Amino acid sequence: MSGAVHVGLDLGGTNAKCAVLSPDGAILAEARAPNDADRGENAVLARLVSLAKAAAAPHGPIATAGLGLPGHFDPADGRGTLLPNLPGEWVGRPIARPVSAGLGVPVRLVNDARAMTLAELRLGAGRGVRDLVCVTLGTGVGGGVTIGGRLHLGLGNAGEIGHTTVVPDGPPCGCGNRGCLDRVAGADAIARDAGTGTAAEAIAAARRGEARAADALAAAGRRVGLALAGAVVLLWPQRIVVGGGVAAAGELLLGPLREELRARACVAPEVDVLPAALGAGAGAIGAALWGAEPV
Amino acid sequence: MSGAVHVGLDLGGTNAKCAVLSPDGAILAEARAPNDADRGENAVLARLVSLAKAAAAPHGPIATAGLGLPGHFDPADGRGTLLPNLPGEWVGRPIARPVSAGLGVPVRLVNDARAMTLAELRLGAGRGVRDLVCVTLGTGVGGGVTIGGRLHLGLGNAGEIGHTTVVPDGPPCGCGNRGCLDRVAGADAIARDAGTGTAAEAIAAARRGEARAADALAAAGRRVGLALAGAVVLLWPQRIVVGGGVAAAGELLLGPLREELRARACVAPEVDVLPAALGAGAGAIGAALWGAEPV
């Protein structure tokens, strides 16, 4: 459908984001809006439709659409199955269908961290490689895997590196396991270990030279490195990309991460670990790429 | 090359094995011989050639050949790079070329655990699935991953689940890491934990009801389950296959393995864990399949 554009949406806990891509994958526009959670699920979905229509309108008709979600869903019927971080009642609710009806094209769902992975592979820090492992460090820890230049989803939602066990007797995780990376290297864990109110404050404190905050970031980095080491010995990927808000800590986190990864994954060749390049819009960009992906 | 056969060789520490496959992948013959390590590396390679020629002769000319090795190699130049468990001096030595010269066809090298994985996928306990994770429990712990019905090798030797860290402060491993699955769930670790001379004796003792031996097998099973859980949350595979001599412990090991896997990988759908179906010849069969694999 030459001339028509690819639209991507990313529904987060507080914001909805949109990206518009040209037929050859160039980013034409990005937009965001509050997700309207307080007005209910139908309003949230209506907001997605109006956000996408407004963003696409100056550029052309919509050819394909993708929608990133912070959790799991049934790709066959487009309903949510596990969306704990989205305000409202989403499990069992049709999500793809109403957005598709509003936009006039089919809507493909994708997990938001997998969308980020695809965006970084094609347009960001993963350009030029085919086998990539991404991890995104925010309130939770998400991830994604590409094999041969395509997202690997396995039985549906592969890429959940955040639920790798890194502290076998660690704190309980919402998934039912204990000591998941998600519980011990996410923003809350960092703030708690640093004794600050937020992970952003911990990063600021560490930059001022406060040892406890620096130690908290280093510990999180080492835990991410341990989980990534398991992925690296298993997959021997070409590159690793680290994104999400907590990745703003830069070398305070990435340095210890690389050190742990190298010490643990010494059976595999050394892999470059790069910060994500696309920022907070990566999820919407990746959703647009996913919607446009040949089946 | 219709009518011609596919030959696979598996060079182990004490034995060389051979499998001959028909053009449509049926197993025509299997053979084994001592690997002749005491006569030197050239004799070992000559033995491989004579073993393959003798096994193939009744069935037809050799179309393709694959050779499984207990370690790593450079696939481009066919030399060994890491073969610690093979008697003799193999690192840097040409391996593919002399066997190829002897057989008159190119020889493709493959790690023995990856060969087993491919064999189980196509002709064993993995039949009918596309995304498979295999682990082989013997003196060491090896493994392999298939994605979309093909071996995933990444930067060359992906599938090293045996070097997943399962005890972060555990014993040093030959790879340079500490607490690798290979060190804490292999045959030596089981015999030590069980207080027996060998893993086979530990299995026999556990079958007689000796608690220490049963505990040792259960502990090994749980450690394998922990490593597999990391692979499962990352890849959401369709099936897991467990092979190698220690897998003869059956449910004494597989029961605790499944329990740990289920508890740790609860974010992913439940995956069947099956014992390998092809036995000790799987490496040679897989090497034959690898030699015949379309590029």
What residues of B are in contact with residue A163 (Cβ under 8 Å)?
A: 233, 265-268
What residues of A are in contact with residue B184 (Cβ under 8 Å)?
A: none
Residues of B in CB contact (< 8 Å) with A are 131, 143, 145, 147-148, 152-161, 163-165, 168, 175-177, 226-227, 229-231, 233-238, 263-269
CA closest to B114 among chain A residues? A234
| Mutate: best of A72, A238, A267, partner B, most B CBs <10 A | A267
Joined tokens for residue A285:
């960009």
Domain B128-276 has CATH 1.10.510.10: no
Q: How does pLDDT run along chain B (295 residues), one tens digit per residue?
A: 458 999 999 999 889 999 999 999 999 999 999 988 889 999 999 999 999 999 999 999 999 999 999 999 998 899 999 998 888 899 999 999 999 999 999 999 999 999 999 999 999 999 999 999 999 999 999 999 999 999 999 999 999 999 999 999 999 999 999 999 999 999 999 999 999 999 999 999 999 999 999 999 999 999 999 999 999 999 999 999 999 999 999 999 999 999 999 999 999 999 999 999 999 999 999 999 999 998 7
| Contact assessment for residue A29 and residue A49, using Cβ atoms and an 8 Å cutoff | no
pLDDT score recorded for residue A266: 95
Classify strands A150-151 and B79-82 as parallel, antiparallel or unpaired.
unpaired
Q: Do the domains at B5-115+281-292 and B128-276 have one common CATH topology?
A: yes
Reference A199, options A179, A220, A170, A178; nearest CA is A220
Reference A182, options B191, B264, B13, B73; nearest CA is B264
**Closest to B168 (Cβ–Cβ): which among A131, A145, A226?**
A226
Which numeric CATH code is attached to B5-115+281-292? 3.30.420.40
The model's pTM is 0.96
Say which amino acid occupies B226: L
The answer to whether the CB atoms of B238 and A154 lie below 8 A apart is yes
pLDDT score recorded for residue B88: 87
What residues of B are in contact with residue A154 (Cβ under 8 Å)?
A: 131, 235-238
Orientation angle between helical segments A187-194 and A211-235, nearest 10 degrees: 150
Say which amino acid occupies B14: T
**Closest to A235 (Cβ–Cβ): which among B152, B165, B236?**
B152
CA closest to B133 among chain A residues? A234
For chain B, the structural domain boundaries read: 5-115+281-292, 128-276
Please determine, for residue A125, whether its predicted confidence score (pLDDT) is greater than 80.
yes
Read off the pLDDT of each residue in A88-101 and give the average, rounded to a whole number. Answer: 95
What residues of A are in contact with residue B177 (Cβ under 8 Å)?
A: 229, 263-267
Q: Which residue has the tokens 């682990």?
A: B135
Joined tokens for residue B247:
């897998």
pLDDT score recorded for residue B1: 43
Q: Sheet of B272-275: strands edge to edge?
A: B150-151, B141-147, B132-137, B239-243, B272-275
Give the span between the Cα atoms of B121 and A42, in whole angstroms.
Answer: 46
